[in-house]
Structure formats: structure tokens, C-alpha cells
Amino acid sequence: MLNNIAKYTGLFILLLVIQVSLLNNIQFSGFVNPYIYILFILLLPFETPSWLILILSFLAGLVVDITAGTPGLHTSATVFAGFLRPYVLNYISPHEGYEQGDLPGIKTYGFRWFITYVIIIVSLHHLFLFYLEVFRFEYFFRTLLRVLLSTGFTVLFIVIVQAVFIRR
Amino acid sequence: MRSLLNFLNRFGNILLFILLELIALYMLAARPNYHNIKLTKAMNASRAAINAKINQATDYFSLNEINQQLLRENGELKNTLQRFYRDSEIKTYSVTDSLHRQQYVYIQASVVNNSVNKQKNYITLDRGTLSGVKEDMAVASQSGIAGIIIEAGRNYSIAMSVLNLEFRLSVRLKKNGYFGSLTWDGADDNILIINEIPNHVNISIGDTIETTGFSAVFPEGIMVGTIVDFDEGGGDFYDIEIKPSTEYRKLNDVYIIVNLKKDDQIELESDVTGTR
């Protein structure tokens, strides 16, 4: 348990460093803003209770908001993603269901399962985040394009991070 | 009691979700007038301090360019010094009271944080109320407008960048004085939009756009940019695209412009119109 707490805190700090030092500096007319910290919520163990996911989502979003100077924006989007995670997992669960003690990852249920899972959660998170940021429908299609491009890059970075840093 | 527990068991997570979401949205909604929220205060202070450290390091790389800019600006200032003094009648006084003659005071400030890749960009500056900065003061770079102060802390202040969907400013054509409203559409940090200039006015690509000074925030005649494209639009007004004269990606040293007569103007205007 303690081991897990240390591991996930480390993971979150790693993601935050990548986010702040690298991803926040992508200059592409604002069309590409990947937010990789959401991987922290994606990788929590299967048996994590829903209330704990919600609390952790809230805290993670809050920390990201502090580094980005956008009070409430990332917090609300991450809580939204954390709320949907159990439903998404349920929806895409393999026939046998999930093994107790397993972690969501490429190794556990294969690349296809993992990429489906990541794309669904990341696109929901980004949709919520970008539309909340703009908060008007005037630029509907441009915002949609920003969501799609950023989702693409976030998923790409998540696969890279998953492949490079996370063994097991 | 049992039914309460049952209820919590079934709907507890949804209730928790709604509660956390409401807290988050409250924080988001409170953004424009968050003077009272300690959390955001602490957030901004720590963020500004961290960014100031990073900025110290990166400043060195652009020293040469900044020197060039300063030289150029010095020359310009010497030529245009008189523009900001309105002294037609006051010349008769023998007392040299700069406060009553001078309308604008410039406070030099450094940018400690700035973004161009969001839809609502803000600029953090290293001057706060201790240096006399207040809300609604104008921020300009050597080459043109940059933003408007929306929040002033003790040592730092935050300006809404021109690159913000909420930004509005009254601007005019330098050559004939027709004025319109400047906005940013969130797409390209090198293109700003002007509308409300009627399409019987003769304009052409390359025309200079400057501030009007109507809002008592910016002095009149500050450079905004040049027209790069326009079309007649659907209605009676042009859709004009301009290239801003300020390079927002390289914003480093700016001036906060204090209008000494602003309260006077606003008070007088509200006396006449009865509104604020």
C-alpha cells in the first residue's frame, strides 16, 4: 500500500515535470496543447474505489491548475474524467473481467485494449477541458480541431511514456 | 438509517462528483474578481516567484537584442516627448507642477510569465501595488500595445494579453481617424481583428492602426499594427485583419502606463451619461 502511494506520487511528479517543462511550451498557434498528466488517473489500479479516484482526480487537477495558473479549469476536467473512468472500464472490459491486483497497461490486456481505453478517456477529458476554456460556441469547429489534434498528441505521448518509463 | 446508507452506497459517488465539480467550477468562475480567494493569491505568488527565477536565467540570452531596441526607442522618445504633455493653457502658470501637466506616467516592468498558445492568455509582470500599479492600467511594449492590468498584487501584477478572447480596445486608422474595435479571434497570435469600421472608408493594405485613447486606459496614438488583409464583409463594415506591431512571443520589457487624469475623465463622463 505504502509502496503504491510512493509509486503513484513519483509517477505524478514525473508527468508534471514533462507537462511543465516540455508540453506547455509547444507553440503551434494554440492548436496543439497535449495534457499528459491524465495518465496518472488512467493508470490507477483496477480495484481503486470510485470515491478515491474522484478525490485523486481533484487533487491532481488542482496541482496542474497551480502550475498553469488556471484555477478550476483542469480540476473540473480531471474530476470529470475520473468520474467516467469506472464506466469506461466497465464498457470495454474483456470477457473474463479484470483480474484483482492488475494495473491498466499495454502489458496486461494488450495494445488494442489499452489504446481504446486511453483514446476514450483522453478525448472526453480534452473535450470538457477545451470547451470549458473557450466557454462559447462561436469557435465551435476550431475548438473541435484543437481537441482532436491535442488528443492525438496526448495519446502519442502517453504511449511513448508508457513504453519508456513504465515497466511491468 | 439503513436506507440512508443504501442511498449513499448507490449515489455517493455521483454526489461526490457533483460536489467536487461544483468546487472546481466555482474556482473557475471566481477568476475575474478573485481578490478574496487566498488560494489563488498563494498560487499566483508562488508561480510568479518561480517564473521570475527562470526568467532571470533566460534574460541573458536576449540582452543584445534588448540593447538594440532600447537604442532605437531612445531615439524615438526624444522625438516624441512632447506628445504626452497637454499644456495648451497651463503654459501661463509659472509653477512647474508636473502632476497637473503631465497626463501619463510610465512604469518600467519585466515580463515574468507570458503565454500565446491559449485562448485566454495572461501576462505576469514584476511590478505591483508597491510600485503604483492598479487595475485597468495599460501595458505597452516598445513597439506597441500589449495588454491591460486586471489584477495587481503587492509585487506582481497580471495583465490580460491582447491575445485573449475577452480583450476589447478602441483603435483607429492613423491616416483618417476612423475608429473601430480591436479583438482577437483566438486563431493566430500574429493576426488581430478590427470590425466596426464602415466600408465606405478608403483603406488599403499596410495602413497603420493606432489607439484612440477613448477608454482612458491607453494614451492616444500608441501603435497597434498594420493592415494585412481586409474584405467588405456581409454588412456595412469591413472585416480587417492586422498584424500587431508587438511580437507577443518575445515580450520581455514593457511599460505600465498610468493615466493621471483617468478618474477625472470617467467621473465627468458618468456625470453626463448617468451610467458608468
pLDDT in tens, A19-71: 877 777 776 667 888 899 999 999 888 888 888 999 999 999 998 888 777 78
Q: Any residues with CB less than 8 A from the CB of B112 and at least 6 apart, and which?
A: B48, B51, B52, B55, B124, B125, B126, B156
- Among A80, A118, A108, A125, smallest CA distance to A167 is for A108
| Cβ separation B165–A72 shorter than 8 A | no
Enumerate the β-bridge partners of residue B161.
B147
Query: What is the number of alpha carbons within 13 Å of residue B20 lying toward its C-beta?
Result: 28
3 state SS of A57 = helix
pLDDT of residue B91: 36
% of chain A with per-residue pLDDT over 90: 32
Which of A53, A54, A136, A149 to substitute to test the interface with B, most B CBs within 10 Å?
A54
For B47, which of A50, A55, A69 is closest by C-beta distance? A69
| Cβ separation A136–B30 shorter than 8 A | no
Q: Chain B contact for A3, CB < 8 A?
A: no
Euclidean distance between CA atoms B107 and B273, whole angstroms: 32
Domains along chain B with CATH numbers = 38-164+253-273 (2.40.10.340), 169-248 (2.40.10.350)
Higher pLDDT, B263 or A65: A65
- Among A132, A158, A157, A160, smallest CA distance to A147 is for A132
Euclidean distance between CA atoms B144 and B163, whole angstroms: 13
| Cβ separation B27–A71 shorter than 8 A | yes
**pTM tops 0.90, yes or no:** no
Domains along chain A with CATH numbers = 2-164 (1.10.1760)
Cα-based distances in Å from A104 to A46, A120, A125, B86: 7, 14, 18, 70
Q: Chain B contact for A149, CB < 8 A?
A: no
